[in-house]
A and B are shown apart, each in its own frame.
Chain A
Amino acid sequence: MKRLDSEILVIGGGIVGSAAALALARAGRRVAVLERDLCGARSSGINYGGVRRQGRAAVQLPLAQRAHHIWSGLRELIGIDGEYVRSGHFKLARSAADMQALEAYAELSRPYGLDIELISGERLRRQCPWLGGAVMGGSLCPEDGQANPRLVSPAFARAATAAGAAVLEGCEVLQAGHDGSAFVLEARHGGQALQARAAVLINCAGAWAGKLAAAFGEDVPMTSGHPSMAVTEPIPHFLPWSLGVEGGSIYCRQVARGNVVLGGGRGYVLDADRARASHDSILGLLPQAVELLPALRHVQIIRTWSGVEGYLPDRQPVLGPSATQAGLFHGFGFCGAGFQIGPAAGEALAELVLRARSPVPLDAFSISRFNAVAADASSHPLVPERKIS
């Protein structure tokens, strides 16, 4: 059996876990990331790629503003630009009620500095000749944007490695507990048993984080969601902004390569770890896409995909210390909207470890809001027991 002794263990090499590990390694701390698959391959890698503050609940905006600052220095931080562009994010209104909701949001978010502009009437028609359907207007957040999640998220893990973190891919944690002096994790890495010990444990296990929390007596009402995504063949550039629609349904953006990325509806579950875009979601998405952007009518869809995201009933993540176990921190359940705030969530976790508090208010994200019941903190299996050879 292999042994790994570290100061801090991070479970999950998605964008949040990797950003936390990066910040901790840069602070000179000994940190190891245990990633079951490949870093950034799950919801951090399969998401739409919106880097958007607009539309977030007010409690998230301080974190989103901090993330906005981090994104501006992305290349210095992770070594690549990850196709990040501040293209603007435009949220559409299809009714007067929608428009009122957008106006209310512009007002609500004003103190946080999103600089939202409302566009309607003649200006909308002049500025958006490509827009079809019954769009009345919209609200533009000019400095929101988009990036390529399958490049950005793995790059956070590589940056953490370069900063000195030990990143173990293909490392599945089977059992977690605390022996009174340290966390003890039983894992399997490259076909071998691995025991990892550390004084601090950070739970960034995404849609699978509920099991780890439960191992320490904290029950959270996690569910899995499966976004349905599609991408077209590359076409000449026509769409300047990332688009969303008030009330949900379709969202889309055009990448530098020319492909239009579309999302909306739900995928279906293949098994506990995998999901696919479904018949219903694809066929639901296509007519909406044509209605919104008539230029897409003769363009071809070349790929669809989905993934597994962790959801919580109030649509807010869990981000902060455990209510039952000293030294344990959680950062999960970003409800399909964790890509933009992920880097800031990771830094906040690092600050909690290093200084016991973060300058960003995190109270709304406390795990205790789910009335976590303190139970025995002995070792619990996370997956059905298997013999480790």
Chain B
Amino acid sequence: MSRPPVIIGAGPAGMRAAQTLAAYGLRPVLLDEAPRAGGQIYRQPPSGFTRRRTQLYGFEAGRARALHETFASLRGQLDYRPQTLVWNAQPGLLDLMETGTLAASSLSWDDLIVATGATDRVLPFPGWTTPGVFTLGGAQVALKFQGCAIGERVALAGSGPLLYLVAYQYAKAGARVMAVLDSGSMGDRLAALPAMLNQPAVLAKGMYYLAWLRLHGVAVHTRARVLRAEGGARVEALVWRREDMNDAQASPGPEQRIECDAVGFGHALRPETQLADLLGCRFGFDPVQRAQLPLRDPAGRSSVAGVYLAGDGAGIMGADAAELAGERAALALLQDRGMAVDRARIHTLEARLRRIGAFRQGLERAFPFPRRWAETAPDALLVCRCENISAGELRGAVRDCGAGELNRLKALTRVGMGRCQGRMCGVAAGEILAAAAQVPLSQVGRLRGQAPVKPIPIGMHCRQMPHAAPAAAPGEDA
């Protein structure tokens, strides 16, 4: 093996992987879609912006500083390529496009660390496409990257640690947080405490955010089900009621209305697994994350030789775990290249990853998935915004055409066929399908990965053009 290893993604996993490989004398290629390293969580504002790290990252400012400073010190030891979208992967080859210049190129690889990160897990509600409604991650990006808020009077809804973190960050930044609507209950939090106590510092941060919000008069409602966003050209209100999304027996409360000019919502995160899929990695259903995830060993080796997986892109574990997993995957790559690595470090990394794994299990209990979401979603609810497909249309395809698998549902209805290729609507479509077909979620499969991972312009500039397609190619016309 002579080619330098390739890392996709310069978030905490990819950055630590790059640092580790560099420490062992290799000069990895680090590809990242963003203009500056950091991933979603440690995203940096454009150069010239002056907000301090403590404003940007809160409690994580120390970690962000450490990571960014480490990364800066690696300059010269890496072949770092920001603003580079990896839009296709096949055995031994990646297709790239520089997002600024639209220059296309390809890159051969022998071994590859995939650290592609995550996006919001979107469970839509009526009115979710009204202007002014954002995902929680989107709301956070606006704040971190551009230093602007999504609105002045913001309602935040959904579940997961990000809900409270964004609420805290928005309130600290000077926005009025009109309410935090959490679909889970305090009972869930208490039940999850034992598992979460093995990461006391993280737990303490979560409790601090909650206490701070209450102290500053922010209304926090649990067991809150969002019924709809109201408004036309701009969201005007969020309507909700008390309802247990995991217990059909409990009777719901009366409708309540929160005036607002912006909404952030999301139910935790979903991994970006398309590249692992294109690379041929084997997947399995993870009942805790309710998702089909690429399989990996504790070191991060996928089912494909030479392909390693790290960070939230392989399964949601959070930023701290991503740093550890990035380093561990890099060490695995070095081991597989026959290099001697620090065994004690490997034991430490794997032990810490196991502890965080147990904590994440607790976190999933603390912020449980709203299991009744699919059965209670109204028929008129828009699930796929690219193709304008409603929950009722999905149910119709199950009822009338016997669709029982996600790709068949896509073929029949166009769900997941639009610009996002199911990255936004795939989770919701899978939940609706499983509920309508009355089969376990594990049986509906996953949307097949197909290049490009994100849309690419037909007129992108290809430096080396392959030979034109042969005449009388297969599929010639029918």
Which A residues fall within an 8 A CB radius of B? 38, 41, 45, 47-48, 50-52, 55, 150-151, 154, 158, 225-229, 232-233, 244, 247-251, 257, 263-266, 268, 270, 276-290, 296-305, 309, 311, 334-340
Known: A55-B477, A266-B469, A309-B474. A304 touches B452 (CB 8 A): yes
Instruction: Assess the B90–A276 pair: CB atoms within 8 A.
Output: yes
Inter-chain contacts of B258 with A (CB < 8 A) = none
Instruction: Assess the B460–A286 pair: CB atoms within 8 A.
Output: yes
Inter-chain contacts of A334 with B (CB < 8 A) = 478
Instruction: Assess the A298–B476 pair: CB atoms within 8 A.
Output: no
Instruction: Assess the A288–B468 pair: CB atoms within 8 A.
Output: yes
Q: Within 8 Å of chain A (Cβ to Cβ): is B243?
A: no
Q: Within 8 Å of chain A (Cβ to Cβ): is B418?
A: yes
Inter-chain contacts of B465 with A (CB < 8 A) = 283-284, 287
Instruction: Assess the B450–A303 pair: CB atoms within 8 A.
Output: yes
Known: A282-B451, A303-B417. A297 touches B458 (CB 8 A): yes
Inter-chain contacts of B418 with A (CB < 8 A) = 233, 302
Q: Please report whether the interface of chain B is mostly helix, strand, loop or mixed according to DSSP.
A: loop
Instruction: Assess the B469–A249 pair: CB atoms within 8 A.
Output: yes
Instruction: Assess the A251–B280 pair: CB atoms within 8 A.
Output: no
Known: A150-B411, A300-B458, A304-B450. A279 touches B475 (CB 8 A): no
Tell me which residues from 98 to 131 in chain B have a Cβ below 8 Å from any Cβ of chain A. Answer: 104, 106
Instruction: Assess the B469–A281 pair: CB atoms within 8 A.
Output: yes
Instruction: Assess the B459–A297 pair: CB atoms within 8 A.
Output: yes
A-B contact count (CB 8 A): 164
B459, B473, B478: the one contacting A264 at CB < 8 Å is B473
Additional 4 contacts, C-beta under 8 A, given A282-B95, A288-B469? A52-B478, A279-B95, A302-B452, A338-B478
Q: Within 8 Å of chain A (Cβ to Cβ): is B58?
A: no
Q: Within 8 Å of chain A (Cβ to Cβ): is B405?
A: yes
Instruction: Assess the B451–A50 pair: CB atoms within 8 A.
Output: no
CA distance A298 to B93 in the complex (A): 25
Q: Within 8 Å of chain A (Cβ to Cβ): is B197?
A: no
Inter-chain contacts of A225 with B (CB < 8 A) = 474-475
CA distance A277 to B278 in the complex (A): 11
Known: A284-B467, A303-B421. A265 touches B450 (CB 8 A): no
B135 to chain A minimum Cβ distance, whole angstroms, is: 20
Instruction: Assess the B475–A309 pair: CB atoms within 8 A.
Output: yes
A28 to chain B minimum Cβ distance, whole angstroms, is: 24
Inter-chain contacts of B462 with A (CB < 8 A) = 283, 286-287
B93, B412, B475: the one contacting A154 at CB < 8 Å is B412
Inter-chain contacts of A38 with B (CB < 8 A) = 405, 408
Instruction: Assess the A45–B470 pair: CB atoms within 8 A.
Output: no
CA distance A263 to B419 in the complex (A): 19
Instruction: Assess the B90–A300 pair: CB atoms within 8 A.
Output: no
Which B residues fall within an 8 A CB radius of A? 88, 90, 93, 95, 104, 106, 278, 280, 401-402, 405, 407-408, 411-412, 414, 417-419, 421, 450-452, 455-460, 462, 465-478
A45, A284, A305, A309: the one contacting B468 at CB < 8 Å is A284
Inter-chain contacts of B476 with A (CB < 8 A) = 244, 248, 251, 336-337
Instruction: Assess the B459–A298 pair: CB atoms within 8 A.
Output: yes
B401, B452, B475: the one contacting A301 at CB < 8 Å is B452
10 closest A-B pairs (Cβ-Cβ)?
A227-B475, A225-B474, A265-B469, A297-B459, A300-B455, A337-B478, A150-B411, A336-B475, A248-B471, A248-B472
CA distance A286 to B411 in the complex (A): 24
Inter-chain contacts of A298 with B (CB < 8 A) = 457-459
Closest to A250 in B: B469
B280, B421, B458: the one contacting A286 at CB < 8 Å is B458
Inter-chain contacts of A52 with B (CB < 8 A) = 477-478
Report 5 cross-chain contacts, Cβ distance below 8 Å, ordered by A residue.
Answer: A151-B412, A154-B408, A276-B451, A285-B469, A302-B418
B455 to chain A minimum Cβ distance, whole angstroms, is: 4
Inter-chain contacts of B401 with A (CB < 8 A) = 154, 158
Known: A150-B412, A288-B468, A296-B459. A279 touches B88 (CB 8 A): yes
Inter-chain contacts of A154 with B (CB < 8 A) = 401, 408, 411-412
Closest to A54 in B: B477
B179 to chain A minimum Cβ distance, whole angstroms, is: 37
Identify which of B419, B462, B474 gathers the most chain A CB atoms within 10 Å of its CB: B474
Closest to B416 in A: A303
